[in-house]
Chains A and B, each alone.
Chain A
Amino acid sequence: MIHDAQMDYYGTRLATCSSDRSVKIFDVRNGGQILIADLRGHEGPVWQVAWAHPMYGNILASCSYDRKVIIWKEENGTWEKTYEYTGHDSSVNSVCWAPHDYGLILACGSSDGAISLLSYTGDGQWEVKKISNAHTIGCNAVSWAPAVVPGSLIEQPSSQKPNYIKRFASGGCDNLVKIWKEEDGQWKEEQKLEAHSDWVRDVAWAPSIGLPTSTIASCSQDGRVFIWTCDDASGNSWSPKLLHKFNDVVWHVSWSITANILAVSGGDNKVTLWKESVDGLWACISDVNKGQGGVAAVTEGQQNEQ
């Protein structure tokens, strides 16, 4: 059973991971499906995979029930394990690469409640920072904020490294969404977002389209999906808006690359697509549904909101 499938940056490769402990990579150019690699190394079902930015090469991270995070790299045409992290005491549920501007950094959320951050320092070496007890009982999801330089309108001289404020969001079994910020090399909890009444299953920080607002989507065992927005640059006041209350657990939320569509998948065998309309209401614009028998795809409607 496949637990996750991710396209690479360009949509040319597909990585899947499964309960059979394998991570598979396919070449999917021109509608083809050629298996390039069948990576073995995990000892339990693999929950998620994540592609790093192509400027670092072809790199894939995977996390598993076996408490391990493995980073795979393509070297000379073959895929190999390049790093294995075993610092968690329990299933690692989610991995997410930071914006490429920060370097090669991977955030990992685990059922042991901790979040670890693996940073590549060069020459095959990785540095680990751990946030213990990030969420009591367990952390289910991590998602990075897009890279925004304070005063980013000013062109930085190329030799200087801009001062990024690194942030990411996490969701946990304590029903909370938390925002973490790096200060002086240490990760601190910046915000606690409370609105869910059951485990938070997924969080997704929306890509930036140049507005000063930040947006996060969160979904939970309680069937609710919230859209959190923060209007000021200092990141202090977040307000939730209920997207929808579903009848079942909502497992996964994710933003399209220009952040204009949010996709949500729930227990009811559907993936629904949502867009915000002019009056701030969120409207569902399409469903992707499981059905019996083969039916040709009907393209999703493009409801133009006035």
Chain B
Amino acid sequence: GPGRARAARAGRWVRRRAGRDAGRMGGAGPGAADEHRPVTVVPGAVPRRQLCFAWGPAEVLVCETLFGRAGTGEGAPSTSRVFVVRRDQDIYIQTLRKLFNESHGIFMGLQRSEEELAGKSRKAQLVQVSKNYRSVIRACMEDMHQAAISTRDPALQGQYSTQVSILSAMELIWNLCEILFVEAAAAGPLLLRLLDWVRLHVCDVDSMVREVLSSENPSKHKLFWNVVDIFVLQGRMDEARHLLSKEASANPTSMNMYKILDDLMKKMPVPSLGNTQTLTELELKWQHWHEECQRYLQDGTFASNPHMESICKILLGDEDAILEKKELMTTWYHFLVTRLLYSHPTVKPMELRFYAQSSMDLFLGGESSPEPLDMILMAAFEFEMHQVIKECSIVLSNWWFVAHLTDLLDHCKLLQSHNLYFGSNMREFLLLEYASGLFSHHSLWQLGVDYFDHCPQYGRVYLELHIERIPLSTEQKALKVLRICEQRQMHEQVRSICKIMAMKALRNNRLGSALSWSIRAKDAAFATLISDRFLKDYCERGCFSDLDLIDNLGPSMLLSDRLTFLGKYREFHRLYGEKRFPEAARLLLTLMTAHIAPCSFWMTLLTDALPLLEQKEVIFSAEQTYELMRCLEDLTSPNPGSAPFQDDDVETTKVEMLRLALARNLARVIVKEGTVEGS
């Protein structure tokens, strides 16, 4: 299965070769990186044209043009195209969704994890985090593999397979980093870990093994010795011995040879994980064993069986013998680990670099050049963490890998802060890039928010800049974005979003929604505008829309004068509807005398007073009636300060009616107030 995919083939996914020296240059100057700078070619066929461009929120628009202000633009062909150039298309790959989502969970867990744990427990915790990341990669690989085998479309299949290779390489690199950096395995366990690593990743022996074991006569199978060899090369002694026993039973003549070889293999001293022996003890034992193997070889014990002799030479760490099995090992790093197993099992971490370099040189033998994956692994063996990150950044198509790995290494306190352009460290730099990329996706952007939260220096401002660009396609989405901004006290963004939503609602004639949004934005000007619209609607239709909203404005009524008027005016109507006439009357009058109502509305208010004036019961007091009369006079008299009064028939009639009603009311009220109750 994909768990043991051939990572060697992953070499092909790489787009460019990073030469060793170029990779080492820090801060490349303008000319230096020329050969390594990737070029995105825009399909086009007109050589004379130039390219103009514009940034979108997540892309670059590029179009053919001719600069130079030729006034008429003659001779321009009729078709013109605009290209949208995007980077980081990986976020759109459905099968990688799991990778982004689950790694987000692991990332957050790590940020929140207990820093107080020290020493071994902290290290164990970090190793677990690393394993969790790797299992997510593997799960994704599995999905991708399933997708590849279940599709009929060869192009898609190719894409999925490429993705599987890439993920496989990522897991390979991560695993090595876990061993060397996170766990920081010491001499002894180091070799065991490396052996596991090789067994898990490098070479797919399963199918070969199955084939041989399931055959009628395993020891006669043409691949029999290949399998034995690979077991030996990977230090899988028990399995090798088991297979050899089949050979021995089939060939009694080699029984003697077999017994000796079996014994040697059984006795081989290996590092153990528990502290049962010191390195010195191990070295001593190993030395004795090595000498014993040497003696048997020199005595010609295995001379008659080239296969077994070769195995013995391998046990002795004979480079040539091991190199003969190049095809089985497939990679130089397999060769490295095998070499170490059989020549220096107590290798110390810092010694790895020498063995790594020579292994690569011997293995490639000048026939082929190292590929980027090789360079990355080499950098790891040399403990050049920054180099590993740098090379991975160049070669991978999105920031996911380097961002999460670097964050983990930073938590292991392994990265010294390198000051970058804006003074933040590498961890933050990478997280910012990764999270920025997420923002162009319609739902993954939410993950990006959390990543920005954990970038102490620029996370906030990056979030501010990006969150404004999220299309607020639905009210729900807007509320979601708002909640995020409110939680972080991003007041400017809150205001901006509310204003945008208010404007949208207004354009769609949803006055109630527009009003709510402008209240939330604390936008007095807009609230005034919308209140005017409500009032206009009332005048035209005689009723209010969105009563619920207006009835429950509460203190937000005070946002703007017009809004206050709207709220109070509605209250007047409510009071009237509930037949609480004296209160309604009082309110109506206040609206004018306290100048809450705009002058343009006074006529309407006075007209509203008519039914109150014509009630059987007297409602307005004398005082109030005088006030009303004064208002009417103010409105109708040609005063320089007041609003111009429409002098047409309808208005004149209204005024007459009002004057009459007010006069009648005054008469009634004087009588009433003059009369003693009950007399």
Contacts and interface: CB of A to CB of B under 8 A. Distances in A.
Interface in A65-85: 65, 74-76
B85 interface: yes
B50 A284 contact: no
A198 interface: no
A20 B76 CA distance: 9
Contacts of A276: 421
Interface in B465-488: 465-466, 468-472
Given A55-B500, A269-B49, A305-B420, A289 B393 contact: no
A293 B41 CA distance: 9
Contact of B43 (A9, A11, A294): A294
Report, nearest first, the 3 A-B pairs whose CB atoms are least far apart: A19-B73, A7-B56, A1-B76
A251 B420 contact: no
Interface string B31-62: 01100111111111101011111111111111
A211 to B, nearest CB: 7
Contacts of B54: 4-7, 254
A19 B38 contact: no
B507 interface: yes
B103 to A, nearest CB: 18
Interface string A280-296: 11111111111111110
Interface of B: 15-16, 26-30, 32-33, 36-45, 47, 49-67, 69, 71-73, 76-77, 80, 82, 84-85, 87-89, 386, 389-390, 393-394, 397, 399, 402, 418-422, 426, 429-430, 432-433, 436, 440, 458, 460-462, 465-466, 468-472, 491-492, 495-496, 499-500, 503, 507, 522, 524
A11 B469 contact: yes
Contact of A11 (B27, B57, B394, B436): B57
Given A210-B458, A290-B42, A304-B389, 10 more contacts: A2-B82, A5-B54, A10-B57, A209-B461, A210-B460, A258-B466, A277-B28, A283-B33, A304-B402, A305-B27
B30 A282 contact: yes
Contacts of A12: 471
Contact of B430 (A159, A275, A278, A304): A304
Nearest to A270: B51
A284 B471 CA distance: 31
A44 B73 CA distance: 9
18 contacts: A5-B61, A9-B468, A11-B59, A11-B440, A45-B72, A54-B500, A91-B71, A159-B524, A257-B57, A258-B466, A271-B62, A278-B27, A279-B26, A288-B53, A290-B49, A297-B85, A301-B37, A304-B430
A234 B131 CA distance: 52
A258 B402 CA distance: 20
A108 B409 CA distance: 51
B69 A93 contact: yes
Contacts of A56: 503
Given A256-B55, A271-B60, A286 B40 contact: yes
Interface residues of A, number: 92
Contact of A302 (B433, B465, B503): B433
A249 interface: yes
Given A303-B394, A306-B390, A155 B37 contact: no
A257 B422 CA distance: 15
B496 A286 contact: no
Contact of B45 (A1, A44, A292, A300): A292
A16 interface: yes
A97 to B, nearest CB: 14
Interface in A99-120: 100-101, 111
A271 B45 CA distance: 16
Contact of B39 (A111, A266, A289): A289
A265 B617 CA distance: 82
Given A3-B65, A10-B470, A299 B524 contact: no
A298 interface: yes
Interface string A31-66: 000000000000011010000011111100000010
B40 A287 contact: yes
A219 to B, nearest CB: 11
A10 B28 CA distance: 34
Nearest to A33: B82
B64 A301 contact: no
A180 B102 CA distance: 50
Contacts of B84: 28
Contact of B37 (A57, A75, A254, A286): A286
Given A2-B82, A7-B56, A299 B40 contact: yes
A170 interface: no
Contacts of A283: 27-30, 32-33
B38 to A, nearest CB: 4
A100 to B, nearest CB: 7
Contacts of B53: 252, 254, 263, 265, 271, 288
Contacts of B49: 269, 290
A9 B57 contact: yes
A100 B426 contact: no
A244 interface: yes
A72 to B, nearest CB: 15
A289 B462 CA distance: 29
A266 B503 CA distance: 39
Contacts of B39: 286-289, 298
A284 B30 contact: yes
Contacts of B42: 288-291, 297
A14 interface: yes
A244 B503 contact: no
B85 A265 contact: no
Contacts of A257: 55, 57, 465-466, 469
Contacts of B462: 209, 258
A291 B83 CA distance: 13
Contacts of B421: 260, 275-278, 280, 305
Nearest to A243: B30
A207 interface: yes
A18 interface: yes
B503 A55 contact: yes
Contact of B26 (A74, A278, A289): A278
Given A10-B470, A281-B29, A65 B71 contact: yes
A5 B82 CA distance: 7
A289 B38 CA distance: 10
A18 B80 contact: yes
Given A65-B69, A283-B30, A255 B55 contact: yes
Contact of B38 (A2, A292, A301): A301
A267 interface: yes
A287 B33 CA distance: 12
A158 interface: yes
A45 B67 contact: no
Contacts of B69: 47, 65, 91, 93, 111
Name, among B50, B87, B393, B499, the residue most crowded by chain A CB atoms within 10 Å (CB to CB).
Answer: B50
Nearest to B396: A302
B519 to A, nearest CB: 12
Name, among B54, B62, B82, the residue most crowded by chain A CB atoms within 10 Å (CB to CB).
Answer: B54
A45 B66 CA distance: 12
A182 B87 CA distance: 39
